[in-house]
Structures are given as structure tokens and as C-alpha cells.
Amino acid sequence: MRSKVTVVGAGNVGATTAQRIFDKGYADVVLVDIVEGLPQGKALDMLEAGPVTGTDATVVGTNGYDETENSDIVVVTSGIARKPGMSRDDLLLTNMKIVSSVVKEVAAMSPNCVLLPVTNPLDAMAQKSHEVSGFPKNRVVGMAGILDTARFRTFLAQELNVSVNSVEAYVLGGHGDTMVPIVGSTTVGGTPVAKLIAKDRLEEIVQRTRDGGAEIVNYLKTGSAYYAPSAAIARMVESILLDRKEILPCTTLLEGEYGINNLFVGVPVKLGAGGVEEVIEFDLNDDELAALRKSAASVQELVDVMAAAE
């Protein structure tokens, strides 16, 4: 039997994610949204691409949760997205309510699934999803670090005129202005990037990475990024469903690792059939560790605002 993946939210990120997973053909997909007709129409359109692309999995759209029963993975993208001038944090309380109600529904229908929150502000929404679902920490893992890292790798590859595949990097921390590109362990074809790009220029690239989401929002004006985000989600889904055990930067509950406690923050994890199978502790220098803890502190502020609002 094929695996089953539910994607909640049939907007830009959700629909593109559903399409990417459906196209791979190894999972049946359920697309859920509150807007009547939207998930049904998009799912049917995707399904009708099957004969052309050779995909014989199924994809259905629905406004309810019955069809999501016993999903292996549930991706949560429902919520509002940023407009120009907004930070991810401006979405906090609206998206907290949406994510809480969705997670309650999906956790009841698929008590053994791996939950993959994507809605922003990501780390806070992952924390909320963990709390509301009551799932063990290994089965709640947020998408952000792969996207931030992909942006960093894209800019470095452009700068050095090399394949993105030759750039190895990790961006850790919260998915926001305080994210932490780990320059010290970034290599290009095995050479430390600091030997290839001058310090000032490298700092500009790091800043562009931090502003990567806003750069897209400023172009689009009516929404935020979705092609790269959905690619990052599909990579996580694949590592879990195929038990690939890839080491990827994802948002996970830290319990003392990196000196951070009871907080969802982006760090490298081993992603396999069990979800987060291991939190990897990089050997960070003092500046990187301080930046990671500062980033965690800004996630904690959002978590505190959520707690005060309830």
C-alpha cells in the first residue's frame, strides 16, 4: 500500500507541495482547505496530469478531515501569508488560532502521523503544534532551515559561479531575522567559503539570506514564496517516507542541546521513518553559539506572547 500524505492549506505553498509529492508517485495525497471547491478543483487538476507525467498515485481535495484518516505525514500550511512591510511575527496570533484548530483535527484522525508545520512564524507554530497534538517530539518537525539554507547556497553558488551542488552549508536558528548561517562550516568543493569570498561580501550574502523571504514578498506584493518552500517540504517528506535518514536543518524541540531548553528551534536533525531520529550537535564557535541562542530568545518571545494571549 502507498503511503498517505495530507497537506492542509490549498494555497500557494500547500498546493505546490501537494503537486510535488503527487508527482513523485510514492504517496497518495489529500489536500484540505476551508474554501469550498478550492482543494477539490486543484486536486482534480493535479490528478488529470497523471496520465501525462506517468503518475498513478491519487490526489483528492476536501473541506473536511475524514479523508485524511491514518495519514503517515500531515503538512500544515494553513494560515495567512505576509504582505510587504509585514514580518513573519505579525502573523502570530491569527495563525496560532488556525494552526491550533487544524492540528486538533488532524491529530485525532491520524494519531500516528509525523506532523510537519510550515505556517509562519514557523518555530512558534511548531511549538504550538507539539503542544496541541500531544505527539512525542520526534513526530513534530518544522520546515524552515532547508529553505533558508537553499537560499544561502543559491547566493553563494551565484557569487562563485559554481553548481549549487558544490556548496555545502547549514542555516540554523529561528526562521526569522535572527537566523544563523553557519559560515564557519560552509564549504565550496571542500574549501571553506571564508577563503573564497571576502569578509564584507560574505556578510552581504548572509544578510541577503536573512532577508530572502522579504525579497520575494517585495516582488510578489500579494503573497510570499512558495516554489522553494514546497521543494524543502517535499525533501523532508521524502526523507521520512523513504527512511533516508538525511541530516537536514529542521525545527525541532530542543531539550538542552546547544544550551536551549523546551523550545522549537532550527538545528540539524536526522530525518527518517521515525521523524526526528537524532538531533545533531554541531561544533559551533562562540559567536555562532551566541547567535543561535539569541535567535532562540526571539522564538521564546513569540511563545510567551502566545501563552499570554490564551
**Residues at the contact surface with ligand APR, assessed by CB under 6 A:** 8-14, 32-35, 77-79, 81-82, 91, 95, 98, 101-102, 118-120, 223-224, 226, 229
Kindly tell me which of 216 and 265 has the beta carbon lying closer to ligand APR.
216
Kindly tell me which of 38 and 279 has the beta carbon lying closer to ligand APR.
38
Kindly tell me which of 41 and 223 has the beta carbon lying closer to ligand APR.
223
Q: How far is the CB of 94 from ligand APR (least distance, A)?
A: 9
Report which of 122, 100, 157 is spatially closest to residue 232, judged by C-alpha positions: 122
Kindly tell me which of 133 and 224 has the beta carbon lying closer to ligand APR.
224
Q: How far apart are CA 25 and CA 222, in angstroms?
A: 32
Residue 103 CA, chain-centre distance (Å), reads: 16
Q: Among residues 82, 139, 175, 210, which one is catalytic?
A: 175
Q: How far apart are CA 127 and CA 125, in angstroms?
A: 5
Amino acid at 79: G
Kindly tell me which of 202 and 234 has the beta carbon lying closer to ligand APR.
234
Q: How far apart are CA 14 and CA 221, in angstroms?
A: 19
Amino acid at 176: G
Q: How far is the CB of 11 from ligand APR (least distance, A)?
A: 2
Q: Is 175 a catalytic residue?
A: yes
Q: How far is the CB of 147 from ligand APR (least distance, A)?
A: 9
Kindly tell me which of 79 and 275 has the beta carbon lying closer to ligand APR.
79
For residues 83-108, one letter each, b for 16 or more C-beta atoms within 10 angstroms of the residue's C-beta and e for the rest, the string is eeeeebbebbeebbebbbebbeebbe
Q: How far is the CB of 110 from ligand APR (least distance, A)?
A: 15
Q: How far is the CB of 142 from ligand APR (least distance, A)?
A: 11
Q: How far is the CB of 97 from ligand APR (least distance, A)?
A: 8
CA dihedral of residues 163, 168, 169, 170 (deg, nearest 10):
120
Report which of 243, 264, 260 is spatially closest to residue 141, judged by C-alpha positions: 264
User: Which sequence positions are flagged as catalytic?
Assistant: 175
